[in-house]
Amino acid sequence: MKISTSEVAHVAALARLRLSEEMSAKLTEQLNDILTAMDKLAELDTSGVPSTNHALELSGAMRPDQARESLDHERALANAPDSDGQSFIVPKVI
């Protein structure tokens, strides 16, 4: 599949871009290179390749929940810049 300079100019006009003749020719060449590479990829037989959503197999992103003891009030409030003994005190935000 080839793209013409007039098609590049049409898309540029739709995107409200002003392209010089030089830039239009350069973009036409680059887009044609990309389309040629895509055509080559389309020739590959991928029937035996399982579909994936990521190139690398990742694990550990989601771990099972485990119940464990949480911080008590005193230790949690020890990190607070200001507290009333039961809650954090923060500046009013409106």
Q: pLDDT tens digit string along 17-64?
A: 999 999 999 999 999 999 999 999 899 998 888 887 777 777 776 778
CA nearest to 24, candidates 7, 47, 43: 7
Q: Is the distance from CB of 35 to CB of 29 less than 8 angstroms? A: no
- Residue 8 burial (C-beta neighbours within 10 Å; 0-12, 13-18, 19+): buried
Question: 5-42 has which CATH code?
Answer: 1.10.20
CA distance 57 to 54: 7
- Residues in CB range of 24: below 8 A, 6 or more apart: 5, 8, 9, 12
> Which pTM was predicted?
0.51
Please compute Rg for the chain using Cα positions.
Answer: 29
pLDDT digits (tens, 9 = 90+) for 80-94: 889 898 889 988 898
